[in-house]
Amino acid sequence: MYDKINQKPSTCSQMMICFGDSPSYYQPFSKESISENVNWLEPPQCVDVVRQIYLGKSQPAAKQCSRCSGSTLLNGWARSAAIRSWEMRWTSHCPCGGMWLVQKPGCLVASG
């Protein structure tokens, strides 16, 4: 059992963690370090929560969830019966259970 202690640790070695002690590599972020890096972040993009696609910069007419702020296209373009039934499942409620609110084009708030 103790003969494995002197072996070179592999990349998959286990970590020894004690309750109440923070690890030596733990460095909490300060507000200053976060605010310095905000400039490189891209603006949030809207994603259709039902179809899992990006809605793009020129946002079409869409529905937005009143609970999670997720968004989906107002009208789908499904061709197969399976995809049409999937879209019909989410016509009245968001996958999170919230109600849809119809938004004008370009008025969506990106969730996240």
pLDDT score, position 83: 86
Asked whether residue 94 is domain-assigned, the answer is yes
Residue 19 lies in a domain: no
Strand partners, 99: 93
Place of tokens 């286990």: 14
Q: What was the pLDDT predicted at 3?
A: 52
- pLDDT given at position 8: 55
Residue 61 lies in a domain: yes
Indicate the pTM of the whole model. 0.52
Q: What is the pLDDT of residue 98?
A: 92
pLDDT (mean) for 16-45: 61
Query: Please, which pLDDT band fits residue 46 given cuts at 50, 70 and 90?
Result: confident
Q: Is residue 14 part of a domain?
A: no
Q: Please report whether residue 109 resides in a domain.
A: yes
Phi, then psi, of 47 in degrees rounded to 5: -120, 135
- Is 82 domain-assigned? yes
Specify the long-range contacts of residues 55-63, CB closer than 8 Å, at least 24 apart: 55/108, 58/105, 58/106, 59/105, 59/106, 59/107, 59/108, 60/105, 61/102, 61/103, 61/104, 61/105, 62/102, 62/103, 62/105, 62/108, 63/100, 63/101, 63/102, 63/103
Mean pLDDT calculated for residue range 28-40? 56
Our count of domains for the chain comes to: 1
Choose between 2 and 79: higher pLDDT. 79
Residues 57-72, mean pLDDT to the nearest whole number: 83
What is the largest distance, in Å, between two alpha-carbon atoms of the chain?
A: 69
Its domain, for residue 62, covers: 47-112
Q: Residue 33 domain-assigned?
A: no
Phi, psi for 65 (deg, rounded to 5): -75, 135
Any domain includes 54: yes
Can you give the pLDDT at residue 71?
Answer: 87
112 or 82, which is more confident? 82
